[in-house]
Amino acid sequence: MRLRTVVEILAFSLSAAALSDSFPLLLLSTAKFHDVPNRNQFQTSDEALKYVRGVLATCPTNRYLIATQPGIHASDFRQANGCAMPRLCRAAAKPQIKSEFSVAEVFGDTEYAGFSQHIESECAKKGKAVIVDEVHLPPLSSRDRASDLLKHDMILSDSFEAVTKNDDYTILFLPRPGEPAYQAEFIDPLHQDLKRDFEPELVRRDDNDTAWQRLPLFEKYQFFTPGIFTGIIVALVLFSILGVGLSALSSLEVSYGAFEKDMGPAAQKKQQ
């Protein structure tokens, strides 16, 4: 039977544009899977991830690559010149790939963080040593998602090359939904007032033996603030000016005769 690839996800990308809360899922392996119970391209996360976990629990290969891309949708894969992630598409089209599971629309949360531990624990039970690589790509921007996908595809190229060196590997491309929209929580003002009225008041306990009260006087209080220091300087200048003025007045010497009335003959003639 001919294996399906990422091209099937592209076929459903037109309907994916209207379903912003869903994401695609792709599982590739060089091992043979058992028959997929559900080939529906619209599945819940419980249905799709249950099958993926069941496949990984069999420990089909020795090498694993888990790549996550937050906020991607099936419509992001479609471009005029073909696949938006050419290296991923080429990895899916390799002749070594014997099994593939892809879903264009997966609804619900994705607990991708548990897949590595799931693979290692299940393979350890079978006494099989495996290598699990994880690549967490950054979120896509809202301006140029196609360019971001191409850059992220180049980031994955080294991981693809390392994983596909032998013919025993499994690739899980597990995009996560975008960040949830912020929902503001409004508090009823009446309830807020009641809460404020009935909140117990905190009573301050006076402790006369605190560390602050045991400090010296000059460490507890600041006596020479910049304002006080400036005032002292200005007062010294004014007092110095006053001192100079008083010393100038005290240095004046006027004889007592200058204040006596002249009663000599010359003064009498002037009066006549």
pLDDT tens for each residue of 56-90: 999 999 999 999 888 787 777 766 667 788 888 88
Average pLDDT over residues 108-131: 84
Percent with pLDDT over 70 in the chain: 64
Contacts of 85 (CB under 8 A, 6+ apart): 6, 77, 149, 150, 152, 153, 156
pLDDT of residue 45: 83
Contacts of 37 (CB under 8 A, 6+ apart): 51
CA distances from 28 to 52, 57, 260 (A): 11, 15, 130
What is the residue type of 62? N
Cross-strand partners of 57: none
Average pLDDT over residues 122-146: 89
Backbone torsion region of residue 94, taken as left when φ is above 0, otherwise alpha when ψ lies between -120 and 50, otherwise beta: beta
pLDDT of residue 241: 93
pLDDT tens for each residue of 215-232: 776 666 666 677 888 888
pLDDT of residue 130: 93
Nearest to 66 by CA among 120, 105, 108, 22: 120
pLDDT of residue 111: 57
The answer to whether 132 and 38 have CB atoms below 8 angstroms apart is no
Average model confidence (pLDDT) for the chain?
75
Average pLDDT over residues 133-143: 86
User: Following DSSP, what letter does each residue of 166-183 receive, concatenated?
Assistant: SS-EEEEE--BPPPPPP-
pLDDT tens for each residue of 171-201: 998 876 544 433 444 444 544 554 454 444 4
